[in-house]
């Protein structure tokens, strides 16, 4: 059993909107083990995207995290991300945990080239390394002085001033060269053909698949421990989706990253995930190995979800009712209004997430 990389305990998230308080996450428990691909599956509104955002403490207002802990295993120490300040978190984001968003073309800044996007990641997190690399090359005396200053005293006022003076800041070119090398390396890793040309393109010139590769390049630039992929292939064609999934698999192997894959597509989950967590209305209702989850789904919602996948020759089965509004969610187990096995207790208390079989957790009073 490999160690836990990330552990989310009892996460509570609320959105304070005009229409009321949305209880988006109701005590979410989730853990991700090093080296695995965990699938987070659920329908629209179940909270999977905000879970991903919360992991990086990136939930926009009016959302507020109001409870729980997010424990990250960083450099062999466990830190609670929710107790850290913005400076610490800003270092974590991009370097330890990074996210690939759903719609690649809207995740990219339309006025920045591909090169600019990826460079930004490197400059934010790996500047020191890059400066060292520059210093190891032949430099003129002046340049060497500037770079030494960058390495030892990066926040100095002198640097700030000099970097803004047009002719003097030519020294930056050396650094940019180093960064460019890294950018090209990343683009080639992403199997982007004609990387030189693509690097100077703007997001609107890229196809969906290409844009998604760029987003992945940004996310993986600093070899983060954890990659959170939020529906990266939902808007892509099926053949491009296959390319991207294969790419993610390959990259995972190469970089040794752990992947949290958020999606509503059960087919994709079956394709690339090792374990899967099913979410409904702000709760994690079932967690299991992917084989186990498909073969032997325990939670009534998971069962119903698998049943509702259209199959030829069979009748269409859907789940009764609709997803409840999270402003005044049902008491007790939130699924009880649509559950065919609902019991008295389900309307009153929320079931705990229990380990029913080895590695198989369910949140249901049936067990």
Partner 1 sequence: MEVRSKLAEYRVRLQPTVRELKLVGTRIRSSRLSILGAAIIVFYIALALLGPWIAPAGRPSQGGDPYMIPKFGILVTPQPPGSIVHGNYALFGTTAWQYDIYYGCVWGTRSAFRVGLLVVIPSLLVGLVLGMIAGYYGGYLDELFMRLTDVIMAFPSLILDMALIVVLVPLGVQRLDAVMLAFVLVGWTNYARVIRGEVLRTKNEDYVEAAKSIGCSDLRVIAKHILPNSIYPVLIMASLDIGTTVLGVAALTFIGLGAPEGYADWGQLIAYSRNFIFGKPDNPFGYWYTFIIPGLFISFFTLGWNLLGDAFRDILDPTIRRK
Partner 2 sequence: MFPLLGDHKVSTLVETVALKKYYPLAGGVFRRRVGEVRAVDGVSLRILKNECFGLVGESGCGKTSYAKTIIRLLEPTSGHIYYDVPENIRREITDLEKNGGSSKLRKLRDQYDLATFRGDRLKPVRRKMQIVYQDPTRSLNPRMLVKDIVQEPLVVQRLAEGAERGRRVLEMLQDVGLTERHLYRYPHEFSGGQRQRIAIARALVTHPEFVVLDEPTSSVDVSVRAQLLDLFQKLRRELGLTYLFISHDLGVVECLADRVAVMYLGEIVEMAKTADLYKEPLHPYALALFSSIPVPDPAVRRERIELTGEVPSHFNPPPGCRFHPRCPKVMEKCRTQRPKLTDLGGGRAVACHLYHNGQPK
Positions that interact with partner 2 (CB under 8 A): 43-44, 193, 207-210, 237-243, 245-246, 264-271, 290-291, 294-295, 304-306, 308-312, 315-319, 322-323
Asked if 151 and 159 touch (Cβ cutoff 8 Å), the reply is: no
Q: How many residues bind partner 1 (CB under 8 A)?
A: 3
Instruction: Please enumerate in sequence order all residues whose Cβ is within 8 A of that of 97, keeping only pairs 6 or more positions apart, or say none.
Output: 6, 55, 56, 72, 224, 225, 226, 227, 228
**Helix, strand, coil share (%) of the chain residues, nearest 5:** 40, 25, 35
What is the nearest approach in angstroms of partner 2 to the Cβ of residue 52?
18
Of the pair 18, 316, the CB lying nearest partner 1 is at 18
| Cβ nearer to partner 1, comparing 22 with 226 | 22
- Please name the residue that has the structure tokens 């393109």: 201
| Residue 184 touches which member of partner 1, partner 2, none, C-beta under 5-8 Å by kind | none
Least CB distance from residue 1 to partner 1, whole Å? 45
- Binder of residue 270, out of partner 1, partner 2, none (CB less than 5 to 8 A by kind): partner 2
In the region spanning residues 14 to 33, those forming contacts with partner 1, defined by CB under 8 A, are 17-19
Instruction: Tell me the Cα Rg of the chain.
Output: 23
Least CB distance to partner 1 at residue 61 (A):
11
H or E stretch covering 289 = strand 283-289
Is-contact 296 289, C-beta < 8 A?
no
Smallest distance, partner 1 to C-beta of residue 70, A: 27
**Interatomic CA distance for residues 36 and 315, integer angstroms:** 36
Residue 290, contacted partner among partner 2, partner 1, none, CB below 5-8 A by kind: partner 2
Q: Which residues bind partner 1 (CB under 8 A)?
A: 17-19
């Amino acid at each position: 059993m490999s160690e836990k990389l990330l552990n989310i305990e009892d996460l509570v998230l609320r959105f304070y909107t005009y229409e009321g308080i949305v209880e988006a996450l109701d005590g979410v428990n989730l853990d991700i083990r090093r080296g695995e691909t965990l699938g987070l599956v659920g329908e629209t509104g179940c909270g999977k995207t905000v879970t991903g955002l919360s992991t990086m403490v990136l939930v926009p207002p009016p959302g507020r995290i109001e409870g729980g802990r997010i424990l990250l295993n960083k450099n062999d120490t466990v830190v609670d991300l929710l107790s850290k300040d913005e400076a610490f978190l800003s270092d974590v984001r991009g370097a330890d945990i990074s996210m690939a968003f759903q719609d690649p073309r809207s995740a990219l800044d339309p006025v920045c080239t591909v090169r600019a996007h990826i460079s930004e990641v490197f400059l934010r997190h790996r500047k020191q390394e890059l400066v060292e690399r520059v210093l190891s090359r032949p430099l003129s005396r002046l340049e060497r002085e500037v770079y030494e200053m960058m390495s030892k005293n990066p926040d100095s006022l002198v640097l700030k001033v000099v970097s803004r003076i047009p002719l003097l800041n030519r020294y930056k070119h050396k650094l940019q060269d180093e960064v460019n090398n890294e950018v090209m390396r990343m683009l080639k890793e992403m199997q982007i053909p004609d990387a030189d040309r693509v690097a100077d393109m703007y997001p609107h010139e890229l196809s969906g698949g290409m844009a998604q590769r760029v987003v992945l390049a940004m996310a993986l630039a600093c070899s983060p421990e954890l990659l959170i992929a939020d529906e990266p292939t939902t808007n892509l064609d099926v053949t491009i989706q296959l390319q991207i999934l294969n790419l993610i698999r390959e990259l995972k192997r190469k970089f040794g990253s752990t992947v949290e894959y958020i999606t509503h597509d059960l087919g994709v989950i079956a394709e690339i995930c090792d374990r899967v967590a099913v979410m409904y209305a702000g709760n994690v209702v079932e967690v299991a190995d992917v084989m186990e989850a498909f073969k032997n789904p325990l939670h009534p919602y998971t069962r119903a979800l698998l049943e509702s996948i259209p199959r030829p020759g069979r009748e269409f089965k859907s789940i009764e009712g609709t997803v409840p509004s999270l402003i005044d969610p049902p008491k007790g187990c939130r699924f009880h209004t649509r559950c065919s096995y609902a019991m008295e207790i389900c309307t009153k208390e929320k079931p705990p997430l229990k380990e029913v079989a080895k590695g198989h957790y369910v949140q249901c009073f049936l067990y």
